[in-house]
Chain A
Amino acid sequence: MTPRTEAELAAIIREARAPLRIEGGGTRPIGGPTNGARLSTSAMRGIALYEPGALTLVVGAGTPLAEVEAALAAEGQRLAFEPMDHRGLLGTEGTPTIGGVVAANVSGPRRVQVGACRDFLLGVRFVDGAGRIVRSGGRVMKNVTGYDLAKLMAGSYGTLGVLTEVALKVLPAPQAAASLTLRGLDDTRAIAALARALGSPFEVTGAAHLPGKGETLLRIEGFAESVAYRAGRLRELLAGFGTVTVEDDPEAVAACWRDIRDVAAFHGRAGDVWRLSVKPTDAPGIVAGLGGVEALHDWGGGLIWLLAPEGRGQAIRAAVAARGGHATRVRGTGADAFHPRPAPVAALEAGLRRRFDPRGLFNPGLMDGTREGA
């Protein structure tokens, strides 16, 4: 089913008698197995409003991400949260949609500095499981009118409602960018170097550590002179960690961070892929304790990508639970892709689900962990 309007969508949902599998571009099949008739948002598309001078974009949920990015680029702007493209990592094809980005709260390396997709979400429209058309937030930068259901929808993977329209804050694309690289640092030293840079006033917009390549990388962006100045200051600041090399060719910088964003190092390789969100300085210990896994670090250490053999889920979850954070299996099979929540939180999530999807129509099983205690 591919409704063209919100009203059509609402009618489909009201009449539905069996589960629905909500799909944008189908490029991010994250979560537990879910059956149900395919319901695609792809026909609810198009840019409803774009005001570059107000940094606002309102767009149909089914609009291809590429179309959004092209429209922004034409005005020298961009989605600052840098949504990753999951196709290479998950081996999927199709056209990523902006609704899918929001539903999965997809962000990239710049998240560490500017915030996640949810931080740029100004408002949403969605249809819930009772067929209600609901609007929350709006299109303005600051809005505390009523509860923030937009945040609730971001990252709920279609289990609370089908997004039909999203309003996003956009930002100017910078004039210049540079990558700074340190080589040969072990994980602990690398994370310490990234922490030093992130704790400086030099506005680092990317902070990654790639043990496989032996590279520890920083990104800075802005006006050309400012990038050059900050690159120099960071080089001084990090002198104790080794020699810093600077790359400022725009294409090379873009390609380097696109690969980090899309976890290119794991493309086409066998094994489960895990995404861990942790306190940055905990990252080296977690990875070392696990053994037998391959890791990439982004967000200054706060995001760990793991390539692990099947069946390591319990060990990974235990390592994270001991220190705080969460682990999501983004590739691999099984019902427990999402980190189990403590019982009282799981109860709240289950309560929300009963309210917004009383008949359990939307992606049943996808966010399992919601119902588990821990």
Chain B
Amino acid sequence: MQMPDPNPAILARKAELVARLREVLPADAVISDPAETRAYECDALTAYKCPPLAVVLPASTQEVAEALRICHEMGVPVVPRGAGTSLAGGALPTADSVILGVARMNAVLETDYDNRFIRVQAGRTNLSVTGAVEEQGFFYAPDPSSQLACAIAGNVAMNSGGAHCLKYGVTTNNLMGVTMVLMDGTVIELGGAHLDAGGYDLLGLICGSEGQLGVVTEACLRILHKPEGARPMLIGFDSNEVAGACVSDIIKAGVLPVAIEFMDRPCIRATEDFAHAGYPDCEALLIVEVEGSEAEIDAQLALIEEIARRHDPVELRQSRSEEESARIWLGRKSAFGAMGQINDYMCLDGTIPVSALPHVLRRIGEMSREFGLDVANVFHAGDGNMHPLILYDANRPGDLERCEAFGAEILKLCVEVGGCLTGEHGVGIEKRDLMRCQYGADDLAAQMDVKDVFDPAWLLNPAKVFPLDASSARRAA
């Protein structure tokens, strides 16, 4: 992975930069000791590491603005950071950059049940947003698996999804407004407690922009009342094709499950060894969850069962109780942990049209043999968001490179069948150099034009999203 060379002029001015930051931030909010900055050298894509020049941990929008103004004046790149759980290297520093972490900004600013929103500082963790409203029976819908740790700031930057987004949508569909600081320190408000934009939909534009257009300091989020209940059903099939066809039929029938999760045989086996959830030994397994009152759940599950029966399932289990529900989810929820036990793994997240599922799974199986690396598939089938987990051994020379090459082939395949490189994790550095597989030169230029408008000096979150050679002229300008 190529990163731009650090700017020696910036490295040389470290002391001056730190001194200026200390003038506007409390002493403990500016970290410059290399022993301490190392804690920020990577995110969850741990294969890539680089300690930043310094770290700032502001406590308010005002402090963020002051810190950015100084970095802007001195021409220092800034990498915004939430909780550092990005799987794409989105929060990877460069040696000449300042990490701006929003973790200290975690207050709830306003909850309004009549108007169904909550306003929080952006460093608040995803799960604790729901935590703040659940006593009143409400929840915040987007639920990435990392929700215990990840921050709303990162969710907004990555437009993160979760297991329940088939019904409730991803971050952008639940984000009503933000307070954001531009690189030059200007504070802007986009959206709010009302719906839709009055001019251009800049809120929609900044959601998913990977920290490259501004630093989000506050967010206004839509909250919903919890459903009366939810129960899953487990369906096993003896082929991926049939499981894929069943997903399509369920969707067509007009039931809108909150989740349709898919696991293939390698994944089922690994999780069984690890979690002993009692899954059937079959080629493909679906977990379909529906919501509503008891009677509504029964009716929907009956309909799904009827559809599934037409596809000759090898196993079919409707949950009748909390305990059975937990058992059905147990394996799925421990899938990543199970993989981690076996080996190092790389998690991809390309999205494909649901109809291409059987073809893509077959090709991944073939490529797995060609590359000599095992793959397990576990993913959100309802919306085609794949999560192939490629197993490799970080201690074996050449394995990581082989794994990355294999991963790139899988992502190209996703694009080839009409899908995309990333459904929820973001481009970061990981998929930066694959962007040309999905987008032509003009498509990328149009996106980079947006970057030029928001951050003309290209200081915010450098070297992410766009291939370096595609952006070099703009960065130099």
Contacts and interface: CB of A to CB of B under 8 A. Distances in A.
Contacts, number: 266
A345 interface: yes
Contact of B418 (A119, A140, A144, A324): A140
A105 B204 CA distance: 12
A309 B161 CA distance: 46
Size category of the binding interface on chain B: 35 or more
Interface in A153-187: 154-156, 160, 171-175
A146 B256 contact: no
Interface in B392-430: 418-427
Nearest to B229: A201
Contact of A223 (B138, B169, B299, B465): B299
Interface stretch (A110-118, A210-218, A254-262): A110-118
Interface size class of A (residues with CB under 8 A): 35 or more
A75 B252 CA distance: 8
A88 B447 CA distance: 38
B452 interface: yes
B225 A349 contact: no
Nearest to B199: A341
Contacts of A146: 427, 435, 438-439, 443-444, 447, 465
Contact of B114 (A128, A139, A195, A223): A195
Contacts of B188: 342, 344-345, 348
Contacts of A365: none
Given A134-B446, A143-B423, A303 B195 contact: yes
Central interface residue in B249, B382, B425, by most chain A CB within 10 Å: B382
A245 interface: no
Contacts of B444: 146
B446 A155 contact: no
Given A140-B423, A142-B385, A355-B452, A53 B355 contact: yes
A54 B446 contact: no
Interface in B274-294: 292-293
A111 B254 contact: no
Given A198-B116, A226-B299, A116 B208 contact: no
Interface string A295-318: 000010011000000000000000
B383 to A, nearest CB: 4
A355 B456 CA distance: 12
A201 B199 contact: no
Contacts of B254: 76, 172-175, 223
A352 B200 contact: yes
A142 B169 CA distance: 9
A338 B161 CA distance: 32
Interface stretch (A39-47, A65-73, A276-284): A276-284
B256 A145 contact: no
A151 B115 contact: no
A188 to B, nearest CB: 11
Contact of A172 (B225, B256, B440): B256
B204 A151 contact: yes
Given A54-B384, A136-B446, A156-B200, A144 B114 contact: no
Interface of A: 51-56, 75-76, 105, 107, 111-112, 115-116, 118-119, 128, 132-136, 138-149, 151-152, 154-156, 160, 171-175, 192, 195, 198-201, 223, 225-226, 229, 277-281, 299, 302-303, 324-328, 338-339, 341-342, 344-346, 348-349, 351-352, 355-356, 367, 369-370
Given A148-B209, A325-B192, 14 more contacts: A116-B195, A141-B384, A141-B385, A141-B423, A144-B423, A144-B426, A145-B427, A149-B205, A152-B201, A155-B200, A201-B227, A342-B189, A349-B202, A356-B449
